[in-house]
Amino acid sequence: MRNKILAANWKMNLNFAEVIKWRQVFLSQTWDASGKELRIYPSSIYIESLNELSHVGAQNFYFEDNGAYTGEISLAQLQSIGAKSVIIGHSERRTLFHEDKQLITRKVNACVTANTAFILCCGEAENIRKEGAHLRFIQEQLTTALHAFAQEKLHLLTIAYEPIWAIGTGLTASSSQISEMHQAIRNLLLELYGESAHFIPILYGGSVTPENAKEIFSCAEVGGALVGGASLDPKIFHQIWEQL
């Protein structure tokens, strides 16, 4: 049995004083972790001050090891301050920062070389779903990102399905939409990697809250969640954790 994962994606939120407060409230609660894994993806400047709490990772990195890349952070640098994993292919990076398929594949390959775990995000825009092309679109996104990813490295991989129209909007995909997509992703992974693909966690993301978490976690093939807005308050995040 694989552990369920609840991951907080703070995005570009919280100043240092707020992080210290978050940490205090977090520590005042009980996070019983049997069969579950908690992860925090803060802005990279806070990784060091959080990494004794749980698994802490980075929202972004650059695929080169070092060199003249002003403003960028490498995997080796992140690992040196305790980052345990990274997020790749979040839709905000694809759209706002123009990360294309080629860059995403390079990032996947960099994780393989550095033996670093990663969450690979995928998700369709509203118009693609309206056209009924969502399954094909996600299949293409994942196949492209993983085309050079070998079976021996499966332990590094977590997938997060995050429909763009549900991120930060308060709209959540319905149970049947989530189950359909997660099942399709599982089938694709089984096709690509055989039976061992059953162990790859597939998370859902997009306006997960304490109110809808139970229903989402009961959907077929949902192995946890990547949570943005509702992870900024540790009490609310804890309510989601309790339902995982």
Nearer to ligand PGA, 224 or 229 (CB): 229
Residue 191 falls in the annotated catalytic set: no
- CB of residue 229 vs ligand PGA: minimum separation in angstroms? 4
Please tell me the distance from the alpha carbon of residue 38 to that of residue 184, in angstroms, as a whole number.
Answer: 25
Nearer to ligand PGA, 42 or 228 (CB): 228
Q: How far, rounded to the nearest angstrom, does the alpha carbon of residue 136 sit from its chain's CA centroid?
A: 21
- CB of residue 231 vs ligand PGA: minimum separation in angstroms? 7
Please tell me the distance from the alpha carbon of residue 121 to that of residue 119, in angstroms, as a whole number.
Answer: 6
- CB of residue 207 vs ligand PGA: minimum separation in angstroms? 4
Nearest to 59 by CA among 96, 34, 4: 96
Nearer to ligand PGA, 50 or 193 (CB): 50
Q: Which of 37, 55, 90, 99 is catalytic?
A: 90
Got the DSSP string for 167-217? TTSS----HHHHHHHHHHHHHHHHHHHGGGGGGS-EEEESS--TTTHHHHH
Nearer to ligand PGA, 129 or 193 (CB): 129
Distances (CA, A) of 17 to 22, 82, 235: 9, 21, 17
Residues that bind ligand PGA (CB under 6 A): 9, 162, 167-168, 205-208, 226-230
- CB of residue 7 vs ligand PGA: minimum separation in angstroms? 8
Residue 90 falls in the annotated catalytic set: yes
- SS3 at position 109: helix
Please tell me the distance from the alpha carbon of residue 62 to that of residue 43, in angstroms, as a whole number.
Answer: 15
Burial 179-192 (b: 16+ CB within 10 A, else e): bbbbebbbebbeeb
Nearer to ligand PGA, 223 or 228 (CB): 228
Which residue in the shown chain puts its C-beta closest to ligand PGA? 228
Neighbours of 100 (CB within 10 A): 10
Q: Which of 37, 92, 99, 162 is catalytic?
A: 162
CB-hemisphere CA count at 13 Å for 237? Answer: 27
- CB of residue 187 vs ligand PGA: minimum separation in angstroms? 24
Catalytic residue IDs? 90, 162
